[in-house]
Copies of this chain bind each other. A is one copy, B any other.
Amino acid sequence: MNDPRPADATRALRAGLPPALAQALRGRLGERFSTTAAVRDHHGRDESPFPPAPPDAVVFAESTAEVAEVVALCRAHRVPLIPFGVGSSLEGHLLAVRGGVSLDVSRMNRVLAVNAEDLTVTVQAGVTRKQLNDELKSTGLFFPIDPGADASLGGMASTRASGTNAVRYGTMRENVLALTVVTPDGKVVRTARRAKKSAAGYDLTRLYVGSEGTLGVITEVTVRLYPLPEAMSAAVVNFPSLAQAIDAVIRIVQLGVPVARCEYVCEHTIRAINAYSHTTLREAPTLFFEFHGSEASVKEQAELAQEVARENGGQDFDWAARPEDRTRLWNARHNAYFASLQVRPGCRAVSTDTCVPISRLSDSITGARRILDGAPFPTMVVGHVGDGNFHAVMLIDPADPAEVAEAERLNGAIVRLALSMDGTCSGEHGVGLHKVDFLEEEAGDDALELMRRIKRALDPDGIMNPGKIFRM
């Protein structure tokens, strides 16, 4: 067999993986075992602001059985293993901070079983959410969870992802029915059956959802699907103040209006969007809504939302039912991230991710705004406010240690404010490397001790994505 590795990768390999492991992996996987610098670099970074930390090698798995073999080999050599989907993590989950093998599942991208009549689908972990929805088109069903990035289902399950639709459809926590996982022992375990509910034993499914690759490798995901709504409509409304916008959201949630999406975009972000998209949106705190249901129900929801918005000072209520008009309205929200980055070319966006009980949302965002006010870099706020979750976005120069440190300090202050309101340090991005300290503050020693005991019980050698979620 030819050795596809260039000389520099061979050097790195010698420094990293035990030669016997490298040989075994190469023998088993051929060209799907790689130590080239480009491949390792690609797998040693994600969308987080952390410096890259490349693995010693990358393996491209094509089946659950292969994953099991790779896990068993790494276990035998006590070498770290880091599951990798599409690399869209925001918190450093994918960085090989202790070296080892990055296990890329992106080639495991087959939709295995569409059970339309059961409203479920089973996919390999590398299938992305857009790919899934494309493949579902003929069924009249869709998978609603939308974290923004075109993430893999395995990665979304691993980080307990959610996004804009979660206010109505829930997060990965509520929508994963079952997983196939390879345990750190190399065993293949199906965590549950496809029944909608079960009271049969410990909830292994939800133990793995959000475990960030630290308890094994997710290789297959079974999720719930939903009938495409008969009708959809979108609405945009802006407000004289942040507080009035958020008060409107709180009221709409408390009334039980089943809004499908409910997003806040601050005036600074709207300004960035206007500059980026050449639009003339009013540069004011703005709410974006989407309603799903029957014709009558969508109309009813939109009218109720409009009424509440008006009572809270909402103006310029713009709404649309036709697909092209809905897209036009929502374009601003969808472009928010890229528009923000243009505000400071070359910057990186550091995002907070707190989530609080809905009644504290106004205090939480107002407080965050105050914390951000003195920042030496541009800052903005966007959020999945229907869930009490928002992101303060800080546009920092990643090469300036002072800015990096200041962003971390501000992030910490915003997290502490959320914790004081019975909130969480992470609504949807996960802990990764970035929030290890925040999780300690949030969970406390005794809860962390439970997590660590579970980790040690399932992964006694600590090979699975070490350094993430908590210190051992």
A binding-site residues for B, Cβ under 8 Å:
115, 117-120, 159-162, 166, 170-171, 173-174, 183, 187-204, 206-207, 209-211, 226-227, 250, 253-256, 293-294, 296-297, 300, 353, 355-360, 387-389, 418-419, 422-431, 435, 438-439, 442-444, 446-451, 453-454, 456-458, 469-470
Bound-state CA distance A356–B250 (Å) is 38
Q: Which chain B residue has the least Cβ–Cβ distance from A194?
A: B422
**Interchain CB contact under 8 A, B166 and A197:** yes
**Smallest CB gap from A206: residue in B:** B206
Given contacts A199-B161, A439-B201, A450-B204, contact A119 B427 (CB under 8 A): no
- Given known contacts A358-B118, A359-B117, A389-B197, is B203 in contact with A173 (CB within 8 Å)? yes
User: In the complex, which residues of chain B have a beta carbon less than 8 angstroms from the beta carbon of A450?
Assistant: 183, 189, 202, 204, 458
Contact A427 B198 (CB under 8 A): yes
Interfacial chain B residues near A206, Cβ < 8 Å: 173, 203, 206-207
Pairs A–B under 8 Å by Cβ, sample size 18 = A119-B254, A160-B198, A171-B199, A183-B446, A188-B446, A191-B447, A193-B424, A193-B442, A196-B389, A197-B424, A198-B355, A198-B426, A200-B424, A201-B448, A202-B211, A202-B454, A203-B206, A450-B458
What are the 3 closest A-B residue pairs judged by CB atoms, nearest first?
Answer: A457-B457, A206-B206, A227-B256
Chain B: minimal CB distance from A89 (Å): 11
Determine the chain B residues whose CB is within 8 A of the CB of A294 once the complex forms.
297, 300
Cα of A422 to Cα of B191 in the assembled complex, Å: 12
In the bound assembly, the distance between CA atoms of A222 and B94 in angstroms comes to: 34
Bound-complex Cα distance A159 to B198 (A): 10
- Chain B residues with CB below 8 A from A447, complex form: 189-191, 201, 204
Q: How far is the CB of A283 from chain B (nearest CB, A)?
A: 30
Number of copies: 2
Among candidates B170, B253, B422, residue contacting A195 with C-beta atoms closer than 8 Å: B422
Best-buried of A159, A200, A443 by chain B (most CB within 10 Å): A200
Cα of A424 to Cα of B178 in the assembled complex, Å = 12
Q: Is there an interface contact between B426 and A117, defined as CB atoms closer than 8 Å?
A: no
User: CB distance B226 to A256 under 8 Å?
Assistant: yes
Minimum CB–CB distance from A123 to chain B (whole Å) comes to: 16
Residues in B whose Cβ lies below 8 Å from that of A418: 195
Q: How far is the CA of A378 from the CA of B424 in the complex (A)?
A: 53
> Within the complex, what minimum Cβ distance (angstroms) separates A116 from chain B?
8
Q: Which single member of B173, B422, B428, B431 contacts A201 (CB below 8 Å)?
A: B431
A200 neighbours in B (Cβ, 8 Å) = 424-426, 430-431, 435, 438-439, 442-443
**Would A250 and B117 count as touching, CB distance under 8 A?**
yes
What CA separation (Å) do A145 and B325 show in the bound complex? Answer: 40
Tell me the smallest distance from the CB of A221 to a CB of chain B, in Å.
15
Given A191-B447, A203-B209, A387-B357 contact (CB < 8 Å): no
Distance between A80 CB and nearest chain B CB, rounded to angstroms: 19
Interfacial chain B residues near A448, Cβ < 8 Å? 201
Indicate which residue in B199, B227, B388 contacts A210 across the interface (CB closer than 8 Å).
B199
